[in-house]
Amino acid sequence: MLSLTLFSHAQEAGLIQFEMKDQFDSLYSHEGLANRVVILIGSDKDGSPFNSVWGKALHDSLQTHPAFEQIRFLPVADLRGVPFFMKGFVKGHFPKEKERRVLLDWGGKFAKTYRFTSKMSNIIIFDRNGELIYQTTARELHPETLAAMLKMLRKVLEERA
């Protein structure tokens, strides 16, 4: 029942086409995610503390899976509303470690398309075909929600591209 409730929040959209820079000015595109299972974790500033909790839990739980290399994590910061003159200041507050890149969504493209909930971590999963298969919002880590996500992800990883 939990996964049905969570899935009902999903939009009828697949992975959108995008080109977006991270905090290091590296350009990323939807093209680099072709034939991958994508786990998008995004939020506004108030939801950001929960993103790393969920990202780490999913990463650590799946890293020993034989198809782990087929997963791509897509961290997104919803930066709509940040005034132009504040962009450099805001950008400077993101992690300095290259392995902790975050896409800077100044226009809110992801947030608008997938209807991000503010002050929450928005977790959206796409299959290898780019189809949205799971969407939920969360704050603190809940074992039952994590277990439902992992069950679904393991099933998707077992399927052939």
pLDDT in tens, 29-59: 999 999 999 999 999 999 999 999 999 999 9
Contact 150, 30 (CB under 8 A): no
Question: By C-alpha distance, which of 141, 109, 131 is closest to 38?
Answer: 131
Task: State the average pLDDT over residues 120-142.
Answer: 96
Query: CA of 159: how far to CAs of 12, 38, 127, in Å?
Result: 22, 14, 10
Instruction: Give the chain's domain count.
Output: 1
pTM for this model (two decimals):
0.89
∠ CA 37-144-108, nearest 5°, is: 50
Higher pLDDT, 111 or 161: 111
Interval 57-89: pLDDT, tens:
999 999 999 999 999 999 999 999 999 999 999
Query: CA of 24: how far to CAs of 55, 73, 101, 109, 160, in Å?
Result: 20, 17, 8, 19, 34
| Domain containing residue 24 | 2-158
The DSSP output letter for 148 is H
**Domain at 8, CATH number:** 3.40.30.10
Predicted confidence at residue 13, as pLDDT, reads 76
Question: By C-alpha distance, which of 2, 37, 12 is closest to 161?
Answer: 37
